[in-house]
Each structure stands twice: as structure tokens, then as C-alpha cells.
Amino acid sequence: MHDDRHLVEARLKRVLDERIRPAVYPHAVPLDVAVWNAPGEPVPVAEGLAAPTVPAAVGDRWGAPWSTCWFRVSGTVPAEWAGCTVEALLDLGFDENMPGFQCEGLVYRPDGTPVKGLNPRNQWVRVGAPAAGGEEVLLHIEAASNPVILDFHPFLPTPLGDRETAGSEPQYTLARMDLAVFDENVWHLVQDLEVLGELMQELPVESARRWDVLRAIGKALDTVDLQDVNGTAAAAREQLGAVLAAPAEASAHRVSAVGHAHIDSAWLWPLRETVRKVARTTSNMTALLEDEPDFVFAMSQAQQFAWIKEHRPEVYARVKEAVAAGRFVPSGGMWVESDTNMPGSEAMARQFVHGKRFFLDEFGIENDEAWLPDTFGFAAGLPQIIKAAGSKWLLTQKISWSQTNKFPHHTFQWEGIDGTRIFTHFPPVDTYNCSMKGSEIAHAANNFKDKGAARHSLAPTGWGDGGGGTTREMIAKAARMRDLEGSATVTWETPADFFTKAEAEYPNAPVWVGELYLELHRATLTSQAKTKQGNRRSEHLLREAELWASTAAVRAAAPYPYEQLDRVWKTVLLHQFHDILPGSSIAWVHREAEKTYAAVADELNRLIGDAQRALAGDGGSGTTVAFNAAPHARGGVPAGAAAIVSGEDAAAGDASRLGTREGGGYVLDNGLLRVEIDGSGLVVSVYDTGAERESVAPGLAANLLQIHPDFPNMWDAWDVDEFYRNTVTDLTGIDELTPLEHDGAAAVRLVRSFGDSQVTQVLTLAPGAKRLDIDTEVDWHETEKFLKVAFPLDVHAERYASETQFGHFYRATHTNTSWEAAKFEACNHRFVHLEEPGWGVALLNDSTYGHDVTRTVRGTDAGTTTTVRVSLLRAPRFPDPETDQGVHRFRHALAPGAGIGDAVREGFRVNLPERRVAGDREVAPLVSVDNDAVVISAVKLADDASGDVVVRLYESTGGRARVRLGLGFDASGVALTDLLERPLEGASVPALQENRVQLSLRPFELVTLRLTRG
């Protein structure tokens, strides 16, 4: 037989595009259009519906950036359409190739009832099925003129990312406003031909099935009368019946389709617009659930449910009804789909606490899965947090974006730092916006790494980010692939249904130990420094507020601020969303975030101050009380306690000494460390006097500022590509080098200028401190540059420790494999630590996350130099062209001779400074531990307002620990609980004896205790 395959394939494409798809709507009449341009920010629905309008027409330009226009469309169904299915086609000027990144609309009835969203792939509104001739149609559209930020030529700097700079030029042109007859037969023919045509393209040319499909398509096209598509569509469909009815092979891959609409809680739009995106999408999905009995839709992020509850109660009522029916599934159990690298221990725990509690309170539902398809890698501490929250599964997708190494599994057990394992799946479909194309389903089956041992995978299906979610076309395609020869089978299922089947079939899934590092988007650890500082400082302020408020409630009967703390936690958790905290959102988002963090700090400082004044007593005696919120004793003040101090106590221990250095510069010496700073302001020696050990590698200098060009190939705010290292400039020029002394601490102030920027640093050696404190102020006005500060250390280390949630994680300092080489920029929390047996060095920070560690062997003495570099600032121009411009302040410290326990302690010290208030009462700790390896991460009152005290603690050094928890209040009972403060089933209850609880912890084990007050 002659090969006419290409001829039939080309014929199918043209006939579909030019004849069959246009025939879905064979008859149309225009609607009358009027518009009201809302001034300023979005208005309530009632105001939009009642506003005065002016005439408008197709072809009119509309919508300044970020504005809202209310369109009123009206018309009459022609009498001859009686009995037909009639739809309104409402095209606001969409580009169908960009669902989710442009204008959107929400359609209302005149009474304010939401109907459905309008999106590039979802422009129809059903007005009659069957329609009555002469029926009047009146609809209102709340149309959002969200500008296109990520355009055809992506990553170009644009002022459109902030309303303050976006201008007023109309962004869109009304394209179509019609009533039209919907021909369901033709629509089904389109779905038949698309499914078979896409399947055909994925089958081997030698496959008999491919040729069977080809011949059936040819016969169907022969049957279609191109001058009467509507009259011949049914006959054409009959030609396809046999090939559509052929069942799938018994060994076919099984795809669990989950209706989905991944909505970034902020990204290329501000938070307020996400509220409307969620309302549009959920309106679409609740309507679709009513029409499609097999369809199941899942939505994560409790914050998004809370938004529609607050701002669109009429939409929320429909969501609650669909949730109760089991068809609209709250998934994930987190407040938002957060970044997981940078949030601290308690913040990561509270993501699950607040998310799961919202779903329990609102719907009576508890999720077993964590749902994080788009998060930029996963910290090694996350598995035990998921388990401690009462969940057991994790879904992600983003690992498929890694540039260097292909992850070896799609379904596996992920083991965290404490040994906890979580059953994990990342879909081989390689998208969280599956549209049910044949190529996507075939890719899922072919790509699946666990063939032979497992056969189930999940496909999150629907347009995200305001694209409107799942469409009726996707559902129609899935129905045809439910049992179709040559295809994987497709079934709509909930995430829980999928995970139950996947786990049952794969009891011995392979294990991946340690972090799930994304080999991409590494610069998100540095971009938008003020957002990152706001997060870090908010986390520590929340720790303080809970600790002192709890202590004041128990000791002084002060009211505990339950509602305030709940609200502030949710605000901080929201801003940990994976495009806010990583610094990858538009200027508007980060400008608002900076203001929000300032307000959070003000509120929490007031709460802390109120609690401390209630505890400290009368300040009239002239005495001062020092409060220590850190988990370790400091300056004679126990952890979580306060002590009266005198003026002489301000500089405890012998004063450090400041001297001049031979050859220029200065020497700082406090008997523990001797620090030499040369005439250029570089730290050329940090000598550990007790260990008789030099920290800085010979011939090199620490605290060396370095600047690199920074223009990645793509994703400017997200990425730093390895070639940035090829060019580096050491910033050694000095404007000023000045000695300082304050409260017995020796210090040196230095100023450097470079480009259009300036750095001011103060290097301080405090009395009795075995660390060099470095305070840095950068007035930053560079573009597409990367600023780092380097510490070349005389340490031979093949690995180093980075703090992560509830512990630390080791990474290699070498690049033996491509997996190690790919980690050229990584995340830490409060410290990085490296050591030789018996001696180590910690580098501490108060608000930075990104860093790199490299090693070289010196030619002079064959010794090893291990260089730790802290990432300070970047200056990408997309999506925020003014990223990080302005003044920034950082605090770092170098601690020679530090063990891992010292690194933990000093990391808290840098982030939790002592507070002093006027008072005359000492405050004993509410709870205490007798083992410094055990860190108390939270002290609070129980969320249910029972008055119970909740204590969370963990082993911090990676070893086993026995610890006695001492209680500074009468307790009548103790329970081991999960993160939601519920007793753990089957857990042995630790004994409570004489207000002490004895515990034995595994390495990095996390424990939550609930203590009933007597």
C-alpha cells in the first residue's frame, strides 16, 4: 500500500482548523455592549453592577494596566433558535496561547450571582439549552486588565509590574461579543478528531494501530461535507466509533487525572488580583462539576479558600457545597504552596498547622498529602514536618525542571534528616497544567521511570494562574482516553485515591535520602533581600511574642493574644509563597511586602513589649531586666528567661583591645581571638588563641567583597548560571578605615565604593566573644550584578553543614559528580559550619540564605582552602526592573573553633538579640532543658484557648540526646502531640514527675508536648 500518511495528517489539520472548529458555532448575532471604567482599585460587586455605563463596541480599546472595567452585555435570542443550545461568546481580547497571563473576567447575572470566569480557553457562557426564542439575555462582566508581563519575548524589563509605574495606556481590544448557536455534534467531532489525531502522532509508524486510526480519520474526513459540516458531523463521527471503542492494552499505564488550576498566590500580579483569580476559577470549576458527573477538582492553599470566603461569599457557598459532595477536594493541607528551602523550622510547621486546621474547621476534611507542584526544591528537614502534621504523602512537579541531572524516580520514598520517610510522587507528565493532549499522556507513560514495578501516575489537569482551570474539552478528551487502545488509561480521581493505589502497588519503592535540590532557580535564595529579611525577622519576632506572651499569661495572668498571633502568623505564612519569599514577583508584590513586614514588626514588638512589662514589674527602681528569648543561656541569663542587670553588666568580661598592625591596619584582641585587619580593610588573620590555630587560609583574606556580572540565560530573578563565576572583581579599594571602641568592644569601621554603590562595614570583637561580628550596610545601585562576601578558611573538609528546618544537612565541598557540581549555589538558615576533627568554623547570618562553598589545594603547603561565600545582593531587571536598589543592612559573624552545637547557639544569638526593659523582677523560664543539644523551638499556649502550654523541641546536633524538660509552672498532665496539638495515637506518654519530663531523642527528632496546667 502506498504511504499517504503525511497527506492524511495534513488534511486533518487544515479541515479541523478551517472548517470543523468554526462550525461549532454555525450562527451568531452581536450583543449590545456598554462599559463602566472603575476608578482606582476593584470595587464591590454591587457597586460594579449598579454603576452608570456608556456604549461600547467590538474593536474598542479598553483597560489601563491593573484597572477594572465592568461590561454590560445584552441581547435577544432569535426566534428561529428556539430549541437550540445557545451560548454567549465573550472575547475580551484574549491571546489563546497565553492562558493565565493576561486579561480575565468574571460573569455575573443581574442579581450579582457569579456564573463563570472568562479566560483565553474558556470564552463561552451557556444561556439556554434549549433556548427559548425571544429570550432576553443580560450579563455583566467584571473584566480585569492585567497587563502581560511575561510576553512573547520573555524577561524584558517592563514598568508594567507596578501600578505606580505602569501608565494608563489601554491594554486590550474587545474581540467578540456574540450570542451563538452551539452545535454539540460538531463539538464532539472536534474532540474525537483531536484525540485520535494526537494519539496517532504518538504511535510508532510501524504500528498497525496507527494505521487503523489513520484510515478511520480519512473516512471521517471523506464523510464530512465541507459545505455542510453541521449536517454531516454525526455521520463522520460514526466512522470513528470503532477505533474509539478499541480497549487499552492490559499493560497500559494508568493516569489519574486530577482537575487542577495551579494559582500562584502572587507572581506577575499583586495579592489583591489573586483573590479575583481564585474567584473566577472556582466559579468555573463549580459550574463544570455540575455538568460533568465524573469530574473531580482539587485546589490547594487554605489561604485561597479563605480569600473567597471573605471576599466572594456567594462563590464560597458553591465551593462548600461541592466539597461536601466529595467532588471539589481541598488538597495539600498547607496555608500556601510555600517555598520550603528558606522558611524556618516553626514557620514550616505552621504552614501545615494553619492549612490543615482551616480545612478541618471549614470542611471537616484532613489531607494526607502535601501538594507542592511548583516549589523550587525541597529542604531535607521537610519529611518529618509532613509526618508530624499527620500527613504521609508528597506531590511535586518542579524537580523535572532540573537542568543537569534527571531525577531517577517518579515514585519513591523520600527520607529526611531524622530518618522519616514520605511516599512521594512527581508526575511524569512533566507539567502541572496538563491539557489532556495526546502528547502529554504519551509522555507520561513513556517517561515514567518506575515501569515494571509500578504503573500509576498523576496528571494535574487544567489551566492555572487565572487560566480558568479544567475545561470541558479536557474532560471530553479524558473520557475518550478512559480505555483507548494505544493510550494510557485516564481516570478522574482524587489525590488520595491516586496515592492509595500508588502506594499499594509499590510497597518497596526506592529511597532518596536528603534534600530534593532543584538544579535551577538558585538565585531565588538571594533576590529581593528586603523580602527575605522581613521573613526572617518576622519568624524570630513571632517566637519572642509567643514565648513572652505565654510566660506573661501563666505568671502574670495577662491575656494571651490568640487572635493577633493567628492573624500575624497567617500574614507571614502567606508571604512565604514560592514566588514572594524567593523574590520572583513583580515590583508591586515586593513593595507591598516591605510595608507588610514593617507593620508585622510593629505589632509584634508591641505584643512583646506588653508581655515583658507585665513580667518585669516596676521600673521605678532604676533597674533593668534583660530578656533572653534564645534557646541557650546568654550573658548569665537562662534561655527563655530574664534577669536584672546593672550598668556594669553591659560589658561583661574583659574589654577587647584595639591596636595598630605593622604594615598598616588594626589588630583586635580579646584573649580568645586575635583578628588582623590590613590597610585595605581585609581580614588577613583570625587566630584562635586557645587552639593555637589560624582560621584564614595563608596568603588570602576574609570578609572579601566580590562582585560578578549576573545575566542568566533565562528567568532573571530566579536563576544564576554557573558561568557567572568566570568573571569576578575583588572589591579591595578603601575609602575609609577608622578604629572604634564602644562598651569595651574593639571595632573597625571601613567604607568602600564601587560602581554606583557603597559599602560600610563595622567589624567588632566583643569582650568574651569567640566570634568576629560583621555589620554591613550596602547602598546598592548596580544592575545585573551579583555581590558576595568570601571567607577562605584553612580547613580541610569534604563536606559542610547547612542549617535547615529542625536540624542541619551536609553537602559536599567537592564536585566529584554532576549532582555535586550542580549545587553551586545552595540554601542555609542561620549558619554554615565546616570542620576538621576537633576544630571547626561557623559562619552565621541574620537574614541571608544563598551561599557557595568551594575547595582548592594550595601549591605552597599542599594544604586545603575551603572558601565559604555568602550571597548578599543581586540586581536582575525582570520581573522587577528595580530589584534591590537602595540601602540594605546585614549582620554576619565568623566563629572560629566552633563545633556544630556552637554554630546552633551562635546562630540563634545573631537572630535573637537580647532585649532590655526597665523593671525590678527576674523571670524564671517557663520551660527549660538540661541538654544544650536540645533546642526549644516554640513555647506557646494551645491554639484551642484551653490554657495548656505547648512546647516544641528537637535534637539539633545530629546525635542522640537524653533531656529533662523542666517546667516553671504546676502541670497536671503531659501528652505527646502532632503539630496540630492533638495527642498521638499509640504514643507512649512520657512521665511527669516533680514538674519534669524525661525524654530520649533520636538525631534531629522533633517532639511536641502539650502540658496541662495544674
Where do we find the cell 478499541?
A: 246
Q: Mutual orientation of helices 184-202 and 5-15 as an angle, nearest 10°?
A: 150
Assigned C-alpha cell, 235: 455521520
Q: Furthest-apart CA pair in the chain: how many Å? A: 105
DSSP state at residue 696? B
Q: Which residues are catalytic?
A: 374
Identify the helix (H) or strand (E) that includes residue 496: helix 495-505
- Cis omega (within 30 of 0) on the bond before 879? yes
From the list 829, 832, 835, the residue with the least C-alpha distance to 903 is 832
Question: Which ranges of 696-753 does DSSP label H, i.e. alpha helix?
Answer: none
Establish how many alpha carbons lie within 13 A of residue 911's alpha carbon, considering only the half-sphere containing its beta carbon.
Answer: 30
Assigned C-alpha cell, 708: 560578578
CA dist 711 and 307 (Å) reads 37
Identify the helix (H) or strand (E) that includes residue 256: strand 254-259
Which residues, in sequence order, are bridge partners of residue 138? Answer: 74
Burial of 242 (0-12, 13-18, 19+ CB in 10 A): exposed
Neighbouring residues of 557: CB distance < 8 A, sequence distance ≥ 6: none
Where do we find the cell 580593610?
A: 681
CA dist 849 and 964 (Å) reads 33
From residue 173, alpha-carbon distances to 74, 102, 294, 653 in Å are 19, 12, 37, 73
Neighbouring residues of 679: CB distance < 8 A, sequence distance ≥ 6: 661, 663, 664, 665, 734, 737
Q: Is 93 left (phi over 0), alpha (psi -120 to 50) or beta?
A: left
Q: Report the C-alpha dihedral over residues 732, 734, 738, 743, rounded to 10 degrees.
A: -40
Where do we find the cell 517592563?
A: 158
Which residues, in sequence order, are bridge partners of residue 933? Answer: none
From residue 63, alpha-carbon distances to 50, 146, 354, 950, 952 in Å are 19, 8, 37, 52, 51
Neighbouring residues of 795: CB distance < 8 A, sequence distance ≥ 6: 695, 834, 835, 836, 839, 840, 841, 864, 866
CA dist 635 and 642 (Å) reads 11
CA dist 425 and 444 (Å) reads 13
Q: Is 881 helix (H, G, I), strand (E, B) or coil?
A: coil
